[in-house]
Each structure stands twice: as structure tokens, then as C-alpha cells.
Amino acid sequence: MPAPDPFALPVPVPTGNPLRSRATWLLSHGLARRLLLREAARGDLLAGLAMDPALRADPFAGYEELRRRGPMTTTRLAAGTVDHAVADAVLRSEDFGVAGGHGELPRPLQWLLARVFDNRATGPVDPPSMLALDPPEHTRQRKLVSRAFTARKVGGLEDTIATVAARLVDELAAGPERVDLVDRFASRLPLVVIAELLGVPEEDHDRLLAWSNIAAQSLDPGLSWAEFRRIELAIRRLHVWFDAHVERLRKHPGDDLLSRLATLDGPDRPTEDELKATGLLVLGAGFETTVNLIGNAVALFDSHPDQLAVLRDDPGLWPRAVDEVLRFDSPVQITLRQAHRDTEVAGVRVAGGTAVLTFLGGANRDPAVFADPQRFDVTRGNADQHLSFSAGVHYCLGASLARLETKVALHTLYDRFPDLRVDGPPVRRGTRVLRGYEHLPIVLGDAAGRPTTQPASTPSSRA
């Protein structure tokens, strides 16, 4: 019997015109895919980093090869950098904007794209998502949402995060000793936090989880037609669910970001498209990234038990350890920008129109910034200079929330299961922009007080 579809909806969902959908795929992914595969086969390292499964599994050797070639590598396809100063300057420069802005394309192509794209199921990184906008449109949208991520608001979520983490480790302690960390822990905490921000009731949590997995794949370039169509159909369902969800929130608003935006009046009121784009972006940008960070951290501590011992002796180092995980194995590996005009960044000339891949995971291992960069070291003083949250106007809005969630999650987990070990081959996700584990089998080992009815201590108050 086929597994039940966790995203099935009790109402019909439009599947869209398949011809239009095919044309959209061709323009947004199909042509790029052909080009990327061809250039990767010819040895283009930038294309290889996007398409070659071996480099996808372990991009770090590719990054070091790019570093040997200089601060910016330009190929027939694009330019790319793993140089921290150059990447940082590109991300902060007003001479660069989000790539694929229709303004850079010839007019007939702009016309065609507008006809095809306008009707499609817009995903978390399609306009009007703020991640796909340049100022001044970007500034207006970001301002609306940023109120939900002030230090006070994030601090206000700390108790919820600690309570959920404590409940999750209690559930682990009461269950089997061998579990998939991603399924039973890493995905659960961020899910509750995102649901909280978007006012999503518990009965819809599994839908949110299923959709987020698919949304994460939509960030990759050069998707195949089958991948694209699967994602598109899922996003169409999400749109139907989202519209009904916003309707519910308008009738019964809660104390969450989406309720506030959905009931806003006056000049700040977002359009329906903007509202949806914001909801999908928070889901797409804020969920899988944090799941990946928690999974990457557990895998790293497993291969570096000495670092875990350092944290056991000095729990005050947990915040720094989270930044070191972000630096060493970033959940977001790549961002893309396009030069609006001829310019120079950190001493490197870039021609107008050039697409520049900033390899965040590579910049994070730049020896000019990080001493002995291939070493995972939770005591590293400048770990927080990583670019894993990007830089400039698109700097991650959820950075402090992600740091808080991960610190509490890891501290709570290792407090309860000091002997936790990876047990069995981990499975990496197939995504290129995002990097993390789909499955991470672990054995919990003896738990401190396992099982217990006592709520776990809240390490956030100690670290």
C-alpha cells in the first residue's frame, strides 16, 4: 500500500496548465540545467559545485581549489568566490543585487518571462519574497517582518523553546535507544517554533514538515523537470492551505507574526501576494536551515568528542560552539548576486551583469580570517565572523532565533544523553544550496535519569 500523503488536502487543488508549467521549468531551470551539466562535464568547477554529486557531498575540496585560483574565479558561466573579504563585500555592495532581476534581461525576454511566470505557483524565493527583491521594495517588506525578530521578541520565545526541548528529550528517553535524530529531534524543535510564528495549529504540523522538505529543494538551481513539477504541485497545495489558514487567522487572530501581518491596516498593509510570500519565506528560510544546523552539529560532535568534552567542562562556551558549527559546516552553502554595473569589490574588478556565486561555506574557511580553518574548535574566538547568515541587506532575519534554538537544543540533548553516538551511516540531503542530513541514526546511550517525569533543566538560563 502506498504511504499516506501527509500533504493531502480535503479540497481540490489546481494543477496548473502543464504546458505553461513546462515552459516555466524550461526558462527557470531546464536551460540552466543543460548548461550546468555540459560545463560541469567539461571541467568547469563552478558548474561542478552545482551539479557534481561528489562535490555536492563534499564541497570543501572544491572550495580549496577555488581558493588556489585566486580571490574570484570567472568561468564561461559565472564568477565565484570563497574569499571572505570579497564575498562579504559583494553581499554588502550597492552595486550588486539579487540575481535574475528581470531588469538585466533583453526586453522581449522580459515580456516572455512576465507572461509565463506571473501565473505560476510562487515559491519562497520568488518575488515578491523579500529574498528576491532589491531595495527599495526589499526595505519596505523587511521592515514589516523585522518587528517579529527583535531581541525582545526572540527572548520571549526562549521559554517555549526550552519547554519543547525538554519534552522532546523526555520522549526520547521513554522510547527506543536507536532513533533517527533528524526525525525525532532536530526537525521537531524548529517545527514548533515556526508554527508558533505562523500561528499554525498542531493538527497542521505534519503538513508543514512535509512542505518544508520540498520547499528546501526549490532553492536549488537546474532542477530536473520531474523535480520541478513535484515541487510545483506541492507549492500549489501549500498556496491553497495558506489562503485558508490566513482566512482562519483573520477571523481568530493570535499573537503571532502572520496574524499581525494579516490584520494590519493602513499604508503598511501588505498585499495578499506579499503576505503569502512572507509566510512561505519564513517557512522556507527558517525551518530546514535550523534542522540542518542541529544535525550538522551532532555529526560534528560525534567525530570530535574532545570538543564535546570542552563544552561539558565549560557550558558557557555553547553559544560560541554554535557559531563554530555554523562556520565549519554551514546549513546554507551558496548565495548568488548579480552586478548591476561595472564595479570593484575588495580589490577585484567585476563587469556589470556578472552573476557571482558567493560560497559561504568556503568563505568560512578562509585562512586570512580564521586561523587553522580546517580545525573544528569550539573555543575559537572569532567563530562568529562566519558568513553563514549572509551579510548586507539580506542578512538573515532569524539569525538570533536560530542561534538560540540550536544552543538550547544541543545543550538539552547532551545534558540528558552524554553518551549519545552516531550509529550507522548518516544520509545527507541531496540539496546543493542547503547542506544537512536527511537521516542521522543515533544510539542514545545511558540517559541521565532515563526515563523521567521531571522536566529537563533549562540550560538556556545557565549558558
Q: Does 363 bind ligand HEM (CB under 6 A)?
A: no
Q: Which of 28, 212, 213, 290 binds ligand HEM (CB under 6 A)?
A: 290
- Integer Cα distance of 236 and 442 in angstroms: 35
DSSP class per residue in 82-115: --HHHHHHHHH-TTEEETT-GGGS-HHHHHHHHH
Q: Which of 49, 261, 308, 332 binds ligand HEM (CB under 6 A)?
A: 332
Q: Which is nearer to ligand HEM, 121 or 402 (CB)?
A: 402
Q: Which of 66, 181, 195, 396 binds ligand HEM (CB under 6 A)?
A: 396
Cell numbers at residue 350, please? Answer: 567585476
Q: Which is nearer to ligand HEM, 280 or 444 (CB)?
A: 280
Report, in Å, the least distance between residue 238 CB and ligand HEM.
Answer: 17
Q: Which of 121, 282, 339, 363 binds ligand HEM (CB under 6 A)?
A: 282
Per DSSP, the three-state class of 339 is strand
- Integer Cα distance of 253 and 255 in angstroms: 7
Closest residue to ligand HEM, judged by C-beta, is: 398
Q: Does 286 bind ligand HEM (CB under 6 A)?
A: yes
Q: Are 324 and 49 in contact (CB under 8 A)?
A: no
Q: Does 78 bind ligand HEM (CB under 6 A)?
A: no
Amino acid in position 323: D
Q: Are 72 and 79 in contact (CB under 8 A)?
A: yes
Report, in Å, the least distance between residue 229 CB and ligand HEM.
Answer: 25
343 forms beta bridges with 350
Q: How many residues does the chain have?
A: 463
Q: Which of 221, 222, 398, 441 binds ligand HEM (CB under 6 A)?
A: 398
Report, in Å, the least distance between residue 180 CB and ligand HEM.
Answer: 20
* CA distances (Å), origin 424, targets 42, 181, 303, 416, 421: 36, 12, 13, 21, 10
Choose the binding region for ligand HEM from 39-47, 152-160, 238-246, 287-295 (rule: CB under 6 A): 287-295
Report, in Å, the least distance between residue 8 CB and ligand HEM.
Answer: 26
Choose the binding region for ligand HEM from 7-15, 171-179, 394-402, 420-428 (rule: CB under 6 A): 394-402
Q: Which is nearer to ligand HEM, 275 or 285 (CB)?
A: 285
Q: Which is nearer to ligand HEM, 144 or 173 (CB)?
A: 144
Site for ligand HEM in 126-145 (CB under 6 A): 130-131, 142
Cell numbers at residue 417, please? Answer: 544523553
Report, in Å, the least distance between residue 148 CB and ligand HEM.
Answer: 8
Q: Which is nearer to ligand HEM, 400 or 452 (CB)?
A: 400
Amino acid in position 24: T
Q: Does 293 bind ligand HEM (CB under 6 A)?
A: yes
Cβ atoms within 10 Å, residue 149: 19
- Integer Cα distance of 215 and 252 in angstroms: 27
Q: Which of 259, 388, 431, 458 binds ligand HEM (CB under 6 A)?
A: 388
Q: Are 427 and 299 in contact (CB under 8 A)?
A: no
Q: Does 40 bind ligand HEM (CB under 6 A)?
A: no
Q: Does 401 bind ligand HEM (CB under 6 A)?
A: yes
Q: Does 331 bind ligand HEM (CB under 6 A)?
A: yes
Q: Does 437 bind ligand HEM (CB under 6 A)?
A: no
Q: Does 397 bind ligand HEM (CB under 6 A)?
A: yes
Report, in Å, the least distance between residue 261 CB and ligand HEM.
Answer: 12
- Integer Cα distance of 17 and 455 in angstroms: 52
Q: Does 80 bind ligand HEM (CB under 6 A)?
A: no
Q: Does 394 bind ligand HEM (CB under 6 A)?
A: yes
Q: Are 114 and 392 in contact (CB under 8 A)?
A: no
Q: Does 362 bind ligand HEM (CB under 6 A)?
A: no
Q: What is the DSSP letter of 393?
A: G
Q: Does 212 bind ligand HEM (CB under 6 A)?
A: no
- Integer Cα distance of 364 and 383 in angstroms: 9
Beta-strand relationship, 355-359 and 79-81 = parallel
What are the φ and ψ backbone dihedral angles of 456, each rounded to 5 degrees? -65, 155
Q: Which of 157, 249, 275, 285 binds ligand HEM (CB under 6 A)?
A: 285
Placement of cell 527557470 in the chain:
28
Exposure string over 422-456, b if 16+ CB within 10 A, otherwise e: bbeebebbebbbbbbbbebbbebeebeebeeeeeb
Q: Which residues bind ligand HEM (CB under 6 A)?
A: 130-131, 142, 197, 281-282, 285-286, 289-290, 293, 331-332, 335, 388-390, 394, 396-398, 401-402
